[in-house]
Amino acid sequence: MKKGGIVSIVGVYGPIQTLVPIGNVVNKGLTIRANQASVKRLLPRLIEHVQNGVLDPKALITHRIPPGVCVGWIPDFFCQAR
């Protein structure tokens, strides 16, 4: 697998136990960008944009994660040998 890429995290605070192993991030040449989002204020507008066809979320989805495994998925993703 080719090294490098950007991981963008936008949202609210997550669980403390979802720490990212920085050594693996550096070895894979990743850039991490993160910011908070006012989810309660912006979610209705976002849903309206999706319903009206202004925004197509399919273009934004790069990985699909089954429900129930999200909490441990990010560290597992960075730790897997690729």
Residue 71 to residues 1, 15, 20, 29, 68, Cα–Cα distance (Å): 24, 8, 12, 23, 7
24: which DSSP letter? Answer: H
Interval 46-65 mean pLDDT? 85
The torsion of the CA quartet 1, 56, 35, 24, rounded to 10 degrees, works out to -10
Range of the domain at 42: 5-79
Minimal CA–CA distance to 63: which of 4, 9, 12? 9
**pLDDT at residue 50, as a whole number:** 92
The model carries a pTM of 0.43
Element (H, E) at 51: helix 39-51
5-52 residue pLDDT tens:
877 777 666 666 667 778 888 888 888 888 887 878 888 998 999 999
d(CA 11, CA 33): 12
**pLDDT at residue 82, as a whole number:** 42
**pLDDT at residue 48, as a whole number:** 95
Looking at the structure of the chain, the number of domains it has is 1
**pLDDT at residue 14, as a whole number:** 63
Could you give the 3-state DSSP secondary structure of residue 38? coil
